[in-house]
Homo-oligomer: A and B are copies of this chain.
Amino acid sequence: MSERPDGRFLVSSGAPWEPLVGYSRAVRVGDRVWVAGTTAAGPDGRAAGGCAGDAAEQTREALRRVEAALGAAGARLADVVRTRLLVTDISRWEEVGRAHGEFFAAVRPAATMVQVSALIDPTLLVEVEAEAVVGSGAPVARSTPAPGRTP
């Protein structure tokens, strides 16, 4: 996307307050892409129709937007190295985790899930951040299982 090795490529969120707050949906520099915290919010800032009250569907919608932002930056879901799932009710971690697995079963980024006390609107249940390295999508090796646990 970028014509220069050091240049940056910005993916806009399209939100009306983006110029005011000064942010992008995603930034690419070289082969690295950072995707902003992404939710299933509609134009009014509330959970988009079909997603209200549904943590799994909000996760899917947020990940579809992450995928679109990565695509605009020349990256794919397969290139994602880290995700961060910020949820408002971690007792529903299985719903959110399964939705994450629908997108990342073969990719397996380093993922974190924690419960925050609020997202930008009370109807939002999940916010997702992602980081990617363009072209890293093909797994070459896996370790044997080691102790530890984080859904």
Binding site for B on A (CB under 8 A): 1-4, 6-15, 17-27, 29-30, 32, 34-39, 41-43, 45, 65, 68-69, 72-73, 81-83, 86, 90, 93-94, 97-98, 100-120, 127, 129, 131, 133, 135-151
Contacts and interface: CB of A to CB of B under 8 A. Distances in A.
Q: Name the prevailing secondary structure of the A interface residues.
A: mixed
A61 to B, nearest CB: 9
A30 B6 CA distance: 13
Copies of this chain, complex-wide, total: 3
Most buried by B among A83, A86, A148: A148
A117 B116 CA distance: 5
A146 B12 contact: yes
